């Protein structure tokens, strides 16, 4: 039995939590033969690295770099003291951390004097969050009597291309790199979020990429289970900050989990499902602070339940772009030109719909007003002289709501009941999209109506079923 256990930033937020994670890992070894750990950075460390990497561009902010490095050093020294009690192990880990922090300081000072922050150097800087947490967690596991060592994602066999900040996996050498470590009785602690190129350049998978790293390690090892340990007991039916009486979902399919992750559920990174889905490796989402809770099990088949809709999610901070023009009717290649412009603008497209009249195309993208204005400007430049498009507008006071459930497939009247509930909440639907899998219906409403809409939908489809 091989189990891959991934722990998020809140799970390793301080030294006491790191020691708690180490105890969970050691307890797991009593159940399963081999355990492999993937860890995130400590709470807020990645955010602070992003901030300091930008501030470092100004050579006048050297003092900020010095203060940041000192704060980072103190944070991790305190964590070591809380997580590791054996003096010899503590000293060894402290030296490792000190060496990494000194290396980070040199890189930040170099960025400051050069006045240049490339994607390559930014990935290198951001990698330090996990490269600092992994040795401490590994040390805490050793402190509890188990053999352990720490590895970066590249050392663990995750080989990527050089698309820095959003790296793509080229191949997995995890079996060759990690299996011998497991056979020797060690618990490997691998840095999440990080991969590396063939020439050993560090790359990252983007925010939330530690979940994806765990899935890649699980796939590479042909693991029996991948566990994602976070601060909630599995997947919930809605955001508890906006909806009362939310329910824990005991079981769901890969497709349902993928849809939820893509449309705003923070408990999973959207790319996590791909590696485990390919090899049909079960994935379980558990709570580090309530380890006895079974959480949510994700497999290739969903659990039958009374409600056809299992969960409701939302995405804020989006922009709705509407493209209108009778000249688009019957003209081939128009959509391709639109998407080419959006691609060149680096717009992250979430939803797309086109009316059957071909006079309107609606697109939802991430990010803020400046990005939307850039897209609108470049679309107008693309179509300014051909008169295919009459007008292009955008609306930034909107959000996307998605309802997910495999029970919707083939069920009659769901859409009608759904939109009746939306109308009852007082929200006005601006755009609708449904995927071919029929496990998801997404729509756009004004953000001011979001909370009422979520409460009404939850009560109608989940609480009352």
pLDDT one-digit tens code per residue, 231-263: 989 999 998 889 999 999 999 999 888 888 877
Q: What is the mean pLDDT of residues 31-51?
A: 93
The Cα 364–Cα 376 span in angstroms is 12
Reported residue count of the chain is: 465
Q: Are 329 and 208 within one domain?
A: no
- What's the CATH number where 153 sits? 3.40.1160.10
Q: What is the pTM of this model?
A: 0.88
**Rounded Cα distance, 14 and 313, in Å:** 30
Give the pLDDT of residue 10. 94
DSSP E strands in 290-448: the ranges are: 296-299, 311-324, 349-354, 360-366, 391-404, 431-434, 440-446
- Note the pLDDT of residue 387: 67
User: Do 170 and 71 belong to one domain?
Assistant: yes
For residues 92 and 217, membership in a common domain is answered with: yes
From residue 353, give the alpha-carbon distance in Å to each of 87, 148, 359: 62, 51, 11
Q: How far is CA 297 from CA 270, 301, 302, 414, in A?
A: 16, 10, 9, 26
Q: What is the pLDDT of residue 385?
A: 63
Q: Residue 427's pLDDT is what?
A: 94
Q: How many other CB atoms sit within 10 Å of the CB of residue 146?
A: 17
DSSP string, 350-381: EEEEE-TTSSEEEEEEES-HHHHHHHHHHHHH
Residue 240 belongs to some domain of the structure: no
pLDDT band with cut points at 50, 70 and 90 for residue 104: very high
Assess whether 334 and 211 both reside in one domain.
no
Q: Do 339 and 222 fall into the same domain?
A: no
Domain identity same for 354 and 223: no
Average pLDDT over residues 117-138: 96
Of 194, 214, 231, the one marking the end of a domain is 231
- For residues 363 and 459, state if they share a domain: yes
Q: Contact, 36 vs 4, CB < 8 A?
A: yes
pLDDT tier for residue 348 given thresholds of 50, 70 and 90: confident
Residues 45-68: tens digit of each pLDDT: 999 999 999 889 887 778 899 999
Whichever domain contains 336, its CATH number is: 3.30.2130.10
The reply to whether 326 and 444 lie within a common domain is yes
- Tell me, yes or no, whether 288 lies in a domain: no
Sorting pLDDT into bands at 50, 70 and 90, what band is 358? low
Residues 224 and 316 in one domain: no
What's the mean pLDDT in 133-151?
98
Q: Are 318 and 324 in contact (CB under 8 A)?
A: no
The answer to whether residue 182 is domain-embedded is yes
On whether both 63 and 203 belong to a single domain, the answer is yes
- Give the tens place of pLDDT for each residue, 287-334: 999 999 999 999 987 554 556 888 999 998 898 988 887 666 666 777
Total domains in the fold of the chain: 2
In this structure, is residue 260 part of a structural domain? no
The predicted-structure confidence for 154-206, as pLDDT tens digits, reads as follows 999 999 999 999 899 999 999 999 999 999 999 999 999 999 999 999 999 98
Packing angle, helices 369-383 and 334-344, rounded to 10: 140
**Does 84 reside within a domain?**
yes
Single residue among 231, 254, 282 that ends a domain in this structure: 231
What is residue 356's predicted lDDT score, i.e. its pLDDT? Answer: 60
Report d(CA 60, CA 264) in Å as an integer. 39
Looking at residue 207, its pLDDT comes to 74
| Nearest residue to 69 (alpha-carbon basis) of 86, 84, 52 | 52
Q: Is residue 274 part of a domain?
A: no
Which tokens belong to 252?
């769901």
pLDDT of residue 327: 63
Residue 363 is assigned to a structural domain of this protein: yes
Final residue of a structural domain among 212, 231, 250: 231
Tokens (6 digits) for 152: 């970066």
* Whether residue 322 is found in the same domain as residue 220: no
Structural domain contains residue 217:
yes
The answer to whether residues 227 and 318 belong to one domain is: no
Residue 412 lies in domain:
311-463
DSSP-derived secondary structure for 213-238 = HHHHHHHHHT-SEEEEEESSSS-BSS
């Amino acid at each position: 039995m091989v189990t891959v256990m991934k722990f998020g930033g809140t799970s390793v937020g301080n030294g006491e939590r790191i020691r708690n994670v180490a105890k969970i890992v050691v307890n797991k070894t009593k159940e399963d033969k081999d355990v492999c750990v993937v860890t995130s950075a400590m709470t807020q460390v990645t955010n602070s690295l992003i901030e300091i990497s930008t501030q470092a561009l100004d050579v006048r902010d050297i003092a900020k770099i010095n203060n940041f490095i000192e704060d980072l050093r103190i944070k991790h020294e305190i964590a070591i003291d809380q997580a590791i009690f054996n003096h010899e192990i503590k000293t060894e880990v402290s030296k490792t951390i000190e060496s990494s922090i000194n290396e980070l300081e040199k890189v930040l000072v170099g960025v400051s004097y050069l006045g240049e922050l490339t994607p390559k150097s930014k990935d290198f800087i951001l990698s330090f969050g996990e490269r600092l947490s992994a040795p401490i967690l590994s040390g805490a596991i050793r402190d509890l009597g188990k053999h352990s060592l720490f590895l970066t994602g590249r050392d663990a066999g995750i080989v990527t291309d050089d698309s820095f900040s959003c790296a793509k996996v080229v191949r997995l050498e995890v079996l060759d790199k990690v299996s011998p470590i497991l056979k020797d009785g060690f618990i490997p602690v691998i840095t999440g979020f990080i991969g590396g190129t063939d020439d050993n350049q560090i790359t990252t998978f983007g925010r939330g990429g530690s979940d994806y790293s765990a899935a890649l390690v699980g796939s590479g090892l042909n693991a029996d289970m991948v566990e994602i340990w976070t601060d909630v007991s599995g997947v919930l039916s809605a955001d508890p900050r906006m909806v009362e009486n939310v329910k824990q979902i005991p079981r769901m399919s890969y497709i349902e989990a993928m849809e939820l992750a893509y449309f705003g559920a923070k408990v999973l990174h959207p790319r996590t499902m791909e590696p485990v889905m390919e090899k049909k490796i079960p994935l379980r989402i558990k709570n580090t602070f309530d380890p006895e809770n079974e959480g949510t099990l994700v497999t290739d088949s969903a659990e039958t339940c009374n409600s056809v809709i299992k969960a409701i999610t939302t995405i804020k901070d989006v922009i709705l772009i509407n493209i209108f023009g009778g000249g688009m009717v019957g003209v081939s290649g128009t959509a391709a030109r639109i998407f080419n412009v959006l691609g060149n603008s680096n717009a992250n497209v979430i939803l797309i719909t086109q009316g059957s009249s071909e006079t309107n195309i609606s697109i939802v993208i991430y990010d803020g007003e400046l990005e939307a204005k850039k897209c609108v400007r470049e679309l107008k430049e693309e179509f300014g002289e051909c008169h295919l498009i009459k007008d292009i507008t955008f609306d930034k006071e909107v959000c996307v709501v998605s309802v997910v459930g495999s029970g919707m497939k083939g069920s009659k009247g769901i859409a009608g009941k759904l939109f009746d509930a939306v109308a009852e909440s007082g929200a006005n639907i601006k755009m609708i999209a449904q995927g071919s899998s029929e496990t998801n219906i997404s729509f756009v409403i004004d953000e001011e109506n979001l909370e009422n809409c979520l409460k009404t939908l939850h009560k109608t489809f989940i609480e009352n079923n």
